[in-house]
Amino acid sequence: MDVNTRNIVSATATLGIDRQQPRQTVAEATTPAKPESAGEIYQISDRGQKYSAELEKNTQLLFELAPLAIPGPADIKQFEQDFGRALQKAGIDGDETIELTTDYDGRVMVLNDHPQKDRIEAIFEKDPELQQQFAKASQARTFQQLGELHNQWLKKIESGMNEQAAGLWLVNEARALTDRSQVMKFNSDGSEAVADSNSNSTSQGAMMAAFYRQISG
């Protein structure tokens, strides 16, 4: 797991959730909603107070580092251009989609049964810089998807879902997303085959800030 995605897991761990424990389901967390009465007072648990200061500090640090540390749409576009040039130089073309991912050692692999799989993987073996560019593009796509999870969380709350259940859903989905290797699909000209329609609608820093505000709220 790369440094940026480890930040996600670190932030959720600060909430006091043990990564090794079984995940709690939404059904287990859901309790009947109780109408709020005027002047009702909510008290923070001892556990919540214990982690409050550290969580605030970590979240603020992430906000400050976000503009510098978080890859964004520009990294995806840069990889598309450089990957396209590398494919053209290697004489690789055709209509087959190229599905790229990384293994545990950080090597770029072709996941699908592409007829020129070995030649494509050889491109990355000979070009460490292009391999790093794919790593950044992959991280950028992961962060965009985390922003989408935050938007889904908002919709669940707005539709009346129990906040604790919605929060657990978000944490579990974020963990699942950051635990698995990102897979990106490209055409033979290097362009992304299945691009996120909302990839340029919101800045990466803004999406991540919203996500961290939710898990720290």
Q: Residue 87's pLDDT is what?
A: 95
Using CA atoms, how far residue 78 sits from 67, 72, 93, in Å, is: 18, 10, 20
Residue owning tokens 């440094």: 3
Residue owning tokens 């992430």: 62
For the entire predicted model, the pTM comes to 0.58
Q: What is the DSSP letter of 24?
A: P
Residue owning tokens 């935050």: 150
Which residues fall within 8 angstroms of residue 84, CB to CB, at 6 or more apart? 189, 190, 191
- Which structure tokens are listed for 102? 């990384």
pLDDT, tens digit (0-9, with 9 covering 90-100), for 39-88? 444 455 665 555 556 656 655 655 555 555 678 899 999 999 999 999 99
